[in-house]
Amino acid sequence: MPFGGSDRQPLLGHLRADTPHLHLSRHDLTKSDNAFARWPAQALATTWAVLKTNPVNLLLVFVPLGIIAANVGWSPTAVFVMNFLAIIPLAALLSFATEEISCKVGQTVGGLLNATFGNAVELIVSIVALKEGEIRIVQSSMLGSILSNTLLVLGCCFIAGGINKLEQRFDTTVASTMSSLMAVASASLIIPATLYAVMDRRPGGSSRDRDDNIMILSRGTSIILLILYVLYLIFQLKTHNKYFDGKPDEESQEGGEGQQQQQAQEADDEPQILTPWTAALWLVLVTVLVAVCAEYLVDSIDSIVASTGISKTFIGLILLPIVGNAAEHVTAVVVSYKSKMDLAIGVSIGSSMQIALLVTPFLVILGWIVGQPMTLHFETFETVVFFLSVLVVNYLIQDGKSNYLEGAMCIGIYTIIALAFYVYPEETPKPDTPFL
C-alpha cells in the first residue's frame, strides 16, 4: 500500500491508536489494578496536590540545601539562613496535615491538634538546644513563642478577619478561660523572678543556696502547671466540651447565626486531600525533617552571634519563634479570613497557653532528667514584657469581638517589644549554675 494512501495502518500494526492500555495517564495509573503502578502514582499525585496548596512550599528547596550546607562545611551564616528558611515550609506542612486530620475530628480537637503540632517545631528546637546546654536560647524561644502567638499571630487574625467584615465575634467563655490560664502562667514566671530578686538582696545568703531554691521552686511549679494543663484538657474535651464546640454563646448569638451557617457551609465545601492515615504519615516525615534542620540551626547559633553581633536573646525570642510559629500563623490567618474566629482564637491563644503550661514545664522536668539547670527564672525585663502582653490581650478579647484596629494594636505592641529586645544587652557570662 502506498505511503500516501488514506488507509494507513498504525505504526504498531494491529494495535489501534485508541487502545486503552496505551493511553494510561498519571490519573489512570492511580486507578490501575497493578499495585506497583498504582501506589507510586497515588503518592506522586497526593504529593503534588499537597505542594500546590501553599506558595510557601517553594521554600522546600532549602531543606536539602540546608542539610548539604551543614555537612560540606559551608559558613555558619549560610547554614543558619538555609535551615531557617527550610523550617518555614516544613512548619506550614505540619499545619496543613493537621488541618486535614481536623476535618474529621471537629474544630475543638482540630484546634488542639493544630496548636500541638504547631508547637512541635519549638519543642524540637528547644530539646536540641537544651541538650547542648543553651539554656538562654530555650528560655528565650519559649517566651518568644508565647509573645509571637498572643500578639503577632492574634493581631494578624484580627486584621484578616476585619478585611471582609466590620466586626468578628467569638465565644467569650472559651476566650476568658484561655486568658485566665495565661494569667496563671504569667504568675508562674513572676514569682521565681521576684523570689530571685528578694534572695539576691538578702545579706549572708550564698548564690548556691539561692540558685538551689530557685531550682526547687521551678521544678515544683512545673509539676503544678502540667497538672493544670491536664485538668484543662479534661475541661475542654469532656466535662465542659459544649463551650468549645464552636457554637455561639447567648451574647454573641444575635446576628451571629448567619456567620455560623456560613462557616459550616464553607467547611463542607473545602475538599480534603489527605486521609487521616496519610496525614499522620506526613506529620511523622515532616517532624523528622524539622528535627534534622533544627539540629543544624542550633549548632550554628554561636557562630552567628559571634559574626553578626546579634544577641542570643533576640535570636531565641524573635527569629526562632517566627519560624516555629509559621504553622499557627498560616492556619490562624486563613481561618480568620474565612470567619472561623473561634478556631483562630483556639490556635493562637491555645498555642501560647500550651507553650506556657505544657512545653516550658516539660523542658524544666526534662532538664532535671538530663542534668541541665533549666528553670522558670527569666530575666526581669522579659517577665514584665510577658505580663504586659497577657494583660493587653485579655483586654482585647474580653468582649468577644474583634476588628482590624485591635489587630493593629497587637502587631504594634509586638513590634515595640521586638525593637526593645534588639537593643537589649546580652547578659554577662555567669558561673555554672549548680543544680540538684
- Across residues 404-409, what is the average pLDDT? 91
Cα-only R_g, the chain: 26
Retrieve residue 49's grid coordinates.
496536590
Cα–Cα distance measured from residue 334 to residue 387, given in angstroms and rounded to the nearest whole number: 28
pLDDT at residue 189, as a whole number: 86
Q: In terms of pLDDT, which residue wins out, 218 or 265?
A: 218
pLDDT at residue 271, as a whole number: 65
- Across residues 120-142, what is the average pLDDT? 84
Cα–Cα distance measured from residue 150 to residue 111, given in angstroms and rounded to the nearest whole number: 15
CA dihedral 250→252→258→260, nearest 10 degrees, is -90
Task: Tell me the HSE value of 411 on the side-chain side, using a 13 A CA sphere.
Answer: 14
| pLDDT per residue as tens digits for the range 268-317 | 455 677 777 788 788 888 878 887 887 788 788 778 877 777 777 788 78
pLDDT band at 14 (very low <50, low <70, confident <90, very high): very low
pLDDT at residue 13, as a whole number: 45
| pLDDT per residue as tens digits for the range 73-104 | 888 888 888 988 888 888 778 777 777 777 76
Residues facing 402 on adjacent strands: 168
Q: In terms of pLDDT, which residue wins out, 107 or 116?
A: 116
Furthest CA-CA distance within the chain: 113
Q: Of 46-50, 196-200, 252-256, 379-383, which gets the smallest average pLDDT?
A: 252-256
pLDDT band at 433 (very low <50, low <70, confident <90, very high): very low
Q: Assign 13 to helix, strand or coil.
A: coil
Q: 161, 226, 183: which is closest to 349 by C-alpha?
A: 183
pLDDT band at 19 (very low <50, low <70, confident <90, very high): very low
Residues facing 168 on adjacent strands: 402
Cα–Cα distance measured from residue 207 to residue 213, given in angstroms and rounded to the nearest whole number: 10
pLDDT band at 41 (very low <50, low <70, confident <90, very high): low
pLDDT band at 397 (very low <50, low <70, confident <90, very high): confident
371: left (phi over 0), alpha (psi -120 to 50) or beta: left
CA distances from 117 to 24, 142, 258, 376 (A): 39, 15, 31, 23
Q: Assign 232 to helix, strand or coil.
A: helix
Q: In terms of pLDDT, which residue wins out, 325 or 192?
A: 192
Q: What percent of the chain has pLDDT over 90?
A: 11
Cα–Cα distance measured from residue 119 to residue 114, given in angstroms and rounded to the nearest whole number: 8
> Under a CB-based contact definition with an 8 Å cutoff, are residues 339 and 262 in contact?
yes
Q: What is the DSSP letter of 402?
A: E
Cα–Cα distance measured from residue 168 to residue 342, given in angstroms and rounded to the nearest whole number: 10
Q: What is the DSSP letter of 242?
A: G
| pLDDT per residue as tens digits for the range 198-249 | 887 766 666 777 888 889 999 999 999 999 999 988 888 888 777 776 554 4
Q: Which amino acid is at 427?
A: E
CB count within 10 Å of CB 267 equals: 16
Does 416 have pLDDT greater than 90? yes
Residues facing 128 on adjacent strands: none
Does 257 have pLDDT greater than 50? no
Cα–Cα distance measured from residue 121 to residue 149, given in angstroms and rounded to the nearest whole number: 14
| pLDDT per residue as tens digits for the range 316-372 | 788 878 776 766 677 778 778 888 888 788 778 888 888 889 899 999 999 999 888
- Across residues 20-29, what is the average pLDDT? 48
